[in-house]
Amino acid sequence: MPASLADQPRGSEAATLAIALGANLPSRCGGPIATLIAVRPLLEASLHQWGQGLSSGPTGFRWSPLFETEPVGGPPGQPPYVNAVLVVDGLVAGLGADGARAAAGEALLEQLQALEHDFGRERQARWAPRSLDLDLLWWGDLSCHTPRLQLPHPLWRQRDFVLAPLAALAGLAPEPGCAVIALAGRPGWPEQLG
């Protein structure tokens, strides 16, 4: 994985925040693609709102193309997922102690879970099908291990549904053998593999 996306220099003032998006059940908006298209502007607005509490809010949003992926874990017979990654640039990481930054991360997690709930997410079995899944992958060099939030996400480097969108953001094709299908761009989600 390109270091420019995955690794932030220690002590860096500006940091990236990465969020994985996925869905494999219909929501109030329709199927998984419609759900991700509908949540996109709401997620940006939520991140702007959350970022106002920091010393510097988001300065840019980089969206990956959409990918279709097979489910990982969970009950058998699930439909495929539609996945993407959002990388948010410019969030100042220098909020003081990691405890203050962890609290800010948990506040963001609450906003993400509220969005999931608005799109019909029900938390039942682990890795069960879902109408919307929003996972924090990392926020700069923050290391956070609380009962609610682990940053960086402990499994992101093991998931094709995260690695393929990150590779696309870096201008690379998914790794050979990666079990993903790139979807064509469309209104509301114009990004596609170039």
The overall average pLDDT reported for the chain is 83
Question: CB-based contacts of 108: which residues, under 8 Å, 6+ apart?
Answer: 17, 47, 50, 136
Q: 50 pLDDT band (50/70/90 cuts)? A: confident
pTM over 0.75: yes
* pLDDT, position 40: 97
Neighbours of 158 (CB within 10 A): 10
Residue found by looking up tokens 């170039």 in the block: 194
Torsion of CA 136, 140, 146, 149, to 10 degrees: -10
> Which of 61-65, 93-97, 143-147: highest mean pLDDT?
61-65
What are the pLDDT digits (tens) for 112-160?
999 999 999 887 767 778 999 999 999 888 888 888 888 888 888 888 8
54: closest CA among 87, 100, 114? 100
Cα three-residue angle 49-50-51, rounded to 5 degrees = 90
Helix extents (H) in 10-144? 32-51, 98-118
Higher-pLDDT residue of 41, 171: 41
Report the distance separating Cα 93 and Cα 139, nearest Å. Answer: 8
CA quadruple 157, 111, 141, 63: dihedral positive or negative? positive
Q: 66 pLDDT band (50/70/90 cuts)? A: very high
For the chain, list the domains and their CATH numbers: 3-7+15-182 (3.30.70.560)
Report the distance separating Cα 125 and Cα 39, nearest Å. Answer: 23
